[in-house]
Structure 1
Amino acid sequence: MRDLHSEEAALAALAAEVFDGIRALSPDARGVSRPAFSAVETATLHWLAEFARRNGLHVSQDAGRNLVFCLPQDADAERWVLIGSHVDSVPMGGNYDGLAGVVAGLIVLIRAARTGARFCRPVKCLAMRGEESAWFGACYLGSKMLTGLLPPAELAATHKGDARPLSAHLGDLGIDTAPLSEGRPITDLSRIEAYLELHIEQGPLLVERGLPAAVVSGIRGNFRHREVRCIGQAGHSGAVPRAYRHDPVLAFAELMHRLDDTWDHLLRTGRDLVLTSGIVGTDPAGHAISRIPDSLGFSLDIRSQEVEVLDRMRAYLRAQMDDIARSRGVRFETGPEVAVAPALMDPAITRGLEAAMRARFGDAFTMASGGGHDAAIFAQAGIPSGMVFVRNRNGSHNPDEAMELEDFMVGTAVLSAYLEGNS
């Protein structure tokens, strides 16, 4: 009889090897930084490729310079189930956001190779580039490229560091941007039967409930403005009475107060919404303690699982900006909007993952995802998709992500059970 406990311990040790190895490749002043489409991201993929080959997996590269792993016997499969996630991170972020999903796919494949388990359908693991919006202002770039859902404006989006467009960075990697400019997929979507993704939870629900993992039912959509500018009029802080001020700081504060009140109302009436302004500031070249600033810049990120709520908030935002502009003598310039529609996970896959979780661990918990994921893009491209969350303390997009390896192994076991038991 196989010693299942020792096999799982050996697999957990392999997972730890990957997490530690990739962390050592991408340190920053705090946490890790793996910029999208960068040399660090490429080095991460090279490390993963060597690890996969050492552990008996077949490795290939797709047209987006992502890596694809599988069992050697499935290298030439006509169709397959894809397990995937991204390897880039936010600046000074945590090591598990994205990477955990790639490592999960690798562990699922290595587990099958070592135990002799058979998947009901061929399985491949995808290590993707470019999911985080921190670098080019738009998210899911890698999966949008694969599925033909990359808008022209995002192909032209500029990098926060060097101000070069995404297309130039892709060209540096030898990626053909012609199909992207035409909105065509750069992979054959008809060969992907389903897409699965494991991800750390980015909120506190699993921690508060004392649960190691959960099945995800759906992913919030969002609309974002990378930089909104509120334009007012500069003046002396002591010399301009309130009635004559055109103060962009107070206009911004009033806008956020109104948005917060509406957020509270929607939650009280059973609707779904979250909103954030994560970047706020006056111009450091001209601001001063004794000066009314002439402008203020800020970002907006508004999310919901409900298309109707997103549409209502888009209209409400514009109406409140117009009203505040009139009353305070300022103007708002929103710049371009970046939007992603909400995505429901495939009901059949969700039920299958729930059944796998119950079979392995006696119970199953299902929840919605507040953060966005590549799974949303594959779902919008018509590929049946499903997700598993793993418990993680301290949120994500920060160096203090705290996923326990034991919980991670629960998530990978759920994926393995589903793939071995569902045709």
Structure 2
Amino acid sequence: MRPNRPPEPDHALAARLFDILAKETADVAGVTREAFGRGEQFAHDLVAETGREIGLEVSTDAGGNLYLRLPGTGGTGRMILAGSHLDSVPMGGNFDGAAGVLAPLAVAAGWKKAGFALADDLVVVALRAEESNWFPVSYPGSKMALGLLPPETLELKRSDTGRTLRDHMAELGFDPDVIAAGTPQVDKSRIRAFVELHIEQGPTLIGADLPAAVVTGIRGSIRYREARVFGTYAHSGATPRAFRTDAVIGAADLVMRLQADWLRLEAEGRDLTFTAGQFFTDPAQHAFSKIAGEVFVSLDLRSNDPALLEELGPLLEERFAEVEAAHGVRIDPGPRTGSTPALMDPELREAFGSAMEDLDLPRFEMASGAGHDAATFAGAGVPSVMLFVRNANGSHNPDEAMEMDDFECATRLLADGLARIR
């Protein structure tokens, strides 16, 4: 372990805030912190008030993103942003997103108490609305910060209320017109680095028996959130197979064809995941003795390989046409959304990798299969890096199980790595 490590983060502060968030945003199961709603706003208010108590400079931008600044000592004019998001999926876990805000907050609190600062400003950031189940768009908070959010996004409706993003922002006192104008909320030229800590959302660190990892890159995606397969409603007993256009059979065949493509591409060494996370008939019309005339299905394909994502567009169109011809159904894929892959900065990866070694941790790197705000900053040319914290039982569910010992280890790694950024 290297001498002259930066001061210890305030782990007790983070633990206390985790407990408050769990209690105050609890749902029937887990927590719900809806984007631009009561749960997310409670979390932002809690973090802002804590920042003021610590003595950090607290501000909020026109989109509602929160910044807590520990001024640097070097007069560099630069800043290092460290943070994540505070919203959650409905009835999700308490750590997804929040760990990435409370870790740098604990670092800043420990450093402020010890009278320590970097040459650059350290800015703890809480970005809005990262969980895209609320509004069907990737990373709106970080896009607002960088002036990259398409103005039409403000008219998208929240999944639970049916009200627009613009309405929800205005209700909380933010300024959607400034965001619609594409006005950057942070000066990108001043950002030395963007650093995001996050729980791992899969089992890799559990399998490796390691508390933390440095992330190499973030998969991009192609998503059809509202695809529908149309057939013809008919009687289940009175309609022979030759006279059926069964939407369930068509949708099932589409999913299995895409599953076969995944297996083939994976065997070729290509990076891909495919998920049909929603698959259901129309509850107003379905019945036990009915052939389904409509099926809703979501399609989520992700890859680290930009070339493969380009190939997937025509491949999907081909599969749609094949299924329509095979079963007499019609496929309306609906709007396509997605994101581009993002590689993490090699210099920052090296800084945090060497910090792992000095903290007597094995140097361990892995890719992120899930999307994160770091992808927006990396895609905009900001040097970016992510850290993962070991977490049992995945994420987006109430059973997230990050151990506080692992969080403390990863927060020390965050502090040590931040102190190495030049």
Partner of 1:270: 269
1:100-141 CA-partner distances (Å, limit 9, x unpaired)? 000011011112223344424221100121110111122311
**In structure 2, distance between residues paired with 1:33 and 1:373:** 19
| CA contact 1:119–1:421 (8 Å) conserved in 2 | no
Partner of 2:247: 248
Amino acid at match of 1:392: N
Change in CA separation of 1:222 and 1:75 when aligned onto 2, cut-off 3 Å: farther
**In structure 2, distance between residues paired with 1:322 and 1:162:** 35
How far did residue 274 of structure 1 move?
Answer: 0.6
Change in CA separation of 1:73 and 1:191 when aligned onto 2, cut-off 3 Å: closer
SS at match of 1:312: helix
Does the alignment pair 1:71 with 2:75? no
How far did residue 420 of structure 1 move?
Answer: 1.6
1:35-57 CA-partner distances (Å, limit 9, x unpaired)? 00112211211111222222332
Structure 1: segments with no counterpart, 5+ residues: none
**In structure 2, distance between residues paired with 1:20 and 1:136:** 27
Partner of 2:48: 49
1:56-95 equivalence runs, <5 A: 56-71=55-70, 78-95=77-94
Partner of 1:327: 326
How far did residue 271 of structure 1 move?
Answer: 0.8
**In structure 2, distance between residues paired with 1:283 and 1:240:** 20
How far did residue 362 of structure 1 move?
Answer: 4.3
Partner of 1:37: 36
Does the alignment pair 1:171 with 2:187? no
Partner of 1:150: 149
**Is 185-194 or 41-50 further displaced after alignment?**
185-194
How far did residue 153 of structure 1 move?
Answer: 4.1
**In structure 2, distance between residues paired with 1:245 and 1:13:** 63
1:276-355 equivalence runs, <5 A: 276-355=275-354
**In structure 2, distance between residues paired with 1:52 and 1:159:** 29
Amino acid at match of 1:105: P
Partner of 1:137: 136
Does the alignment pair 1:213 with 2:209? no
**In structure 1, distance between residues paired with 2:186 and 2:223:** 27
How far did residue 350 of structure 1 move?
Answer: 0.9
Structure 2: segments with no counterpart, 5+ residues: none
SS at match of 1:215: strand
SS at match of 2:419: helix
Partner of 2:397: 398
| CA contact 1:58–1:75 (8 Å) conserved in 2 | no
SS at match of 2:217: strand
**Is 185-194 or 197-206 further displaced after alignment?**
185-194
1:408-423 equivalence runs, <5 A: 408-423=407-422
**Is 412-421 or 393-402 further displaced after alignment?**
412-421
| CA contact 1:74–1:123 (8 Å) conserved in 2 | no
**Is 119-128 or 197-206 further displaced after alignment?**
119-128
1:151-204 CA-partner distances (Å, limit 9, x unpaired)? 344222111122112122122223222343344423322222210000000000
| CA contact 2:71–2:122 (8 Å) conserved in 1 | no
| CA contact 1:179–1:186 (8 Å) conserved in 2 | no
SS at match of 1:361: coil
**In structure 2, distance between residues paired with 1:222 and 1:65:** 26
**In structure 1, distance between residues paired with 2:291 and 2:78:** 62
**In structure 1, distance between residues paired with 2:375 and 2:84:** 11
Normalising to structure 1: TM-score of the pair? Answer: 0.94
Amino acid at match of 1:133: S
Amino acid at match of 2:278: I
**In structure 2, distance between residues paired with 1:69 and 1:175:** 18
Amino acid at match of 1:138: V
Change in CA separation of 1:54 and 1:78 when aligned onto 2, cut-off 3 Å: same
Normalising to structure 2: TM-score of the pair? Answer: 0.95
**In structure 1, distance between residues paired with 2:188 and 2:72:** 21
Partner of 2:371: 372
Partner of 2:121: 122
**In structure 2, distance between residues paired with 1:377 and 1:237:** 49
How far did residue 338 of structure 1 move?
Answer: 0.9
How far did residue 71 of structure 1 move?
Answer: 2.4
Partner of 1:232: 231
SS at match of 2:300: strand
Does the alignment pair 1:161 with 2:160? yes
Amino acid at match of 1:402: A
**In structure 2, distance between residues paired with 1:149 and 1:275:** 27
1:348-374 CA-partner distances (Å, limit 9, x unpaired)? 111111111111124210000000000
Change in CA separation of 1:130 and 1:177 when aligned onto 2, cut-off 3 Å: same
Identity of matched residues, % = 46
| CA contact 2:73–2:117 (8 Å) conserved in 1 | no
| CA contact 2:71–2:121 (8 Å) conserved in 1 | no
**Is 306-315 or 226-235 further displaced after alignment?**
306-315
Change in CA separation of 1:76 and 1:414 when aligned onto 2, cut-off 3 Å: same
Change in CA separation of 1:375 and 1:332 when aligned onto 2, cut-off 3 Å: same
Amino acid at match of 1:224: R
**In structure 2, distance between residues paired with 1:321 and 1:131:** 30
**Is 313-322 or 149-158 further displaced after alignment?**
149-158
| CA contact 2:62–2:174 (8 Å) conserved in 1 | yes
Amino acid at match of 1:421: R
